[in-house]
């Protein structure tokens, strides 16, 4: 059953290698059909494009862009577009694989895809970002569409980038096509509750974990008596911190790219958010002490939410982690080795494909609303989100019990059960 990773275009990044290792572990435990495992190791389709952009000073710069579809067995591809200086084909392929697993896990009729441009967006003006986004959309236009592959915002992109993508695609098609992307502004067919959905989902599953641990008599937890640290106070982390705070949890530390802030008596999350909005950084926040991102991860807290980037908890620092519950807000923040070590030492890890699935769930709602031109209110969106997250959590917890395994492996088993049935039913063409 175990193959060695082939050396090829896709498997050069640690994130991809980790994703395949985790998949192989789940495949072994569930005794997966080897043909299905073989097919899931590599993406179905990948496109690499060069994107020439005329910069504000009149010069022309060329950027690398990617769109990868890992699987479309369950439906159209779904996944974000990230603008980041480290983007490469292998990382995008790994993230597309995680999207396949995530969509299958939460029961959506969607496959997994991902895209990105190797660029530091903070170095570009608004006009340059617009030109980059529009040209990239035209370069990958044969791969995307509401029935083919539906991009969304990710690291370094937001609703504005999605508006440009939608407009470019619509211009090419000759009519408005709101369903081509999700995460759009409300005014052009976005969904209420979409910007907050990932962070909300991260906290919904923490609540389920607390209830489960209570039932199993592992601890007498209650959110009101717990402390939390959030690594990455961005689109996901800031919402998660806010949701934890309104449930009575004491958020003692949050961080950004430049470092972390810590107050053992609890931070006022709204105040921190206001400071961040004004200064674009947490640096210099007055009512807390400055600590490093590494220090934040090692704090003695009940809940840790790694919500920044992948690979922050590794063999090098895993022994410093003291949190009892970790909810993975980012994709792949814990390496396979660190995850095994932490689980063996009693840490309850809610894996990324479950914890941060809120974003793709509400993206799916937005896509459906766009196709029907019938929009829901925020209460409906949040209720449906909570319902799907609860169902997915219970299925994963059930498989963790059944297979006597950690939540990460159980989540992959839950996902692959559905996916492999669909793959075997559809068969291999020709």
| Average pLDDT taken over every residue of the chain | 93
pLDDT in tens, 343-355: 999 999 999 999 9
Task: Check residue 218 and give its pLDDT.
Answer: 65
My answer on whether 272 and 318 are in the same domain is yes
| Overall number of domains in the chain | 2
Q: Is 118 inside any structural domain? A: yes
Q: No. of H helices and E strands in the chain?
A: 14, 12
Task: Check residue 3 and give its pLDDT.
Answer: 47
CA angle 380, 199, 26 (to 5 degrees): 100
CATH number, domain containing residue 84: 3.40.50.10860
Instruction: Please tell me whether residue 428 adopts helix, strand or coil conformation.
Output: coil
Cα 192 from Cα 208, distance rounded (Å): 24
Last residue of a domain, one of 303, 330, 355: 355
Q: Which two tokens stand for residue 9?
A: 């275009």
- Name beta bridge partners: 313: 334
Active site residue 114: yes
331's CB contacts (< 8 A; 6+ apart) are 15, 95, 98, 310, 352, 356
pLDDT in tens, 21-61: 889 999 999 999 999 999 999 999 999 999 999 999 999 99
Where in the sequence is the domain holding 79, given as residue range(s)?
43-176
Cα 242 from Cα 251, distance rounded (Å): 9
My answer on whether 67 and 170 are in the same domain is yes
What average pLDDT does this structure show over 357-376?
A: 93
Q: Is 405 inside any structural domain? A: no
Q: Which of 78, 102, 114, 235 is catalytic?
A: 114
User: Is residue 2's pLDDT more than 70?
Assistant: no
Task: Check residue 15 and give its pLDDT.
Answer: 84
CATH number, domain containing residue 261: 3.40.50.720
Task: Check residue 6 and give its pLDDT.
Answer: 56
65's CB contacts (< 8 A; 6+ apart) are 48, 49, 50, 51, 115, 116, 117, 118, 136, 139, 140
CB burial of 265-284 (b: ≥16 within 10 Å; e: otherwise) equals eebebeebbebbeeeeebee
Cα 179 from Cα 162, distance rounded (Å): 11
My answer on whether 168 and 234 are in the same domain is no
Confidence of residue 219 (pLDDT cuts 50, 70, 90): low
Q: Is 130 inside any structural domain? A: yes
């Amino acid at each position: 059953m175990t193959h060695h990773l082939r050396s090829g275009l896709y498997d050069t990044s640690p994130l991809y290698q980790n994703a395949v290792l985790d998949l192989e572990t789940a495949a072994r435990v569930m005794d997966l059909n080897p043909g299905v495992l073989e097919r899931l190791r590599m993406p179905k389709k990948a496109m690499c494009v060069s994107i020439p952009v005329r910069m504000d000073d009149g010069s022309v710069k060329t950027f690398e862009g990617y769109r990868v579809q890992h699987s479309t067995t369950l439906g159209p591809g779904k996944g974000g577009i990230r603008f980041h200086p480290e983007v490469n084909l292998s990382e995008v392929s790994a993230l597309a694989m995680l999207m396949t697993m995530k969509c299958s896990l939460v029961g959506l009729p969607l496959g997994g895809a991902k895209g990105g441009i190797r660029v530091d967006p903070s170095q570009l003006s608004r006009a340059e970002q617009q030109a980059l986004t529009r040209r990239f959309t035209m370069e990958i236009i044969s791969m995307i569409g509401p029935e083919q592959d539906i991009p969304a915002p990710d690291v370094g992109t937001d609703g504005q980038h999605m508006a440009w993508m939608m407009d470019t695609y619509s211009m090419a098609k000759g009519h408005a096509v709101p369903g081509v992307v999700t995460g759009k502004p409300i005014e052009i067919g976005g969904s209420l509750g979409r910007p907050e959905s990932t962070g909300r989902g991260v906290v919904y599953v923490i609540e389920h974990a607390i209830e489960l641990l209570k039932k199993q008599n592992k601890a007498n937890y209650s959110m009101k008596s717990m402390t939390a640290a959030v690594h990455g106070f961005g689109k996901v982390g800031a919402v998660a911190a806010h949701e934890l705070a309104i449930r009575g949890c004491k958020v003692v530390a949050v961080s950004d790219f430049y470092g972390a802030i810590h107050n053992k008596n609890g931070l006022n999350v709204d105040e921190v958010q206001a400071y961040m909005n004004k200064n674009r950084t947490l640096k210099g926040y007055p009512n807390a002490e400055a600590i490093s991102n590494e220090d934040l991860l090692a704090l003695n807290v009940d809940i840790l939410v790694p919500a920044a980037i992948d690979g922050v908890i590794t063999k090098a620092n895993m022994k410093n982690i003291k949190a009892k519950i970790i909810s993975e807000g980012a994709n792949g923040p814990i390496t396979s080795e660190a995850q095994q070590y932490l689980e063996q030492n009693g840490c309850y890890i809610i894996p990324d494909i479950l914890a941060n699935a809120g974003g793709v769930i509400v993206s799916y709602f937005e896509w459906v609303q766009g196709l029907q031109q019938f929009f829901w209110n925020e209460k409906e969106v949040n209720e449906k989100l909570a319902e799907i997250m609860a169902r997915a959590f219970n299925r994963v917890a059930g498989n963790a019990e059944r297979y006597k395994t950690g939540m990460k492996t159980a989540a992959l088993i839950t996902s692959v059960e559905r996916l492999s049935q669909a793959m075997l039913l559809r068969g291999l063409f020709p």
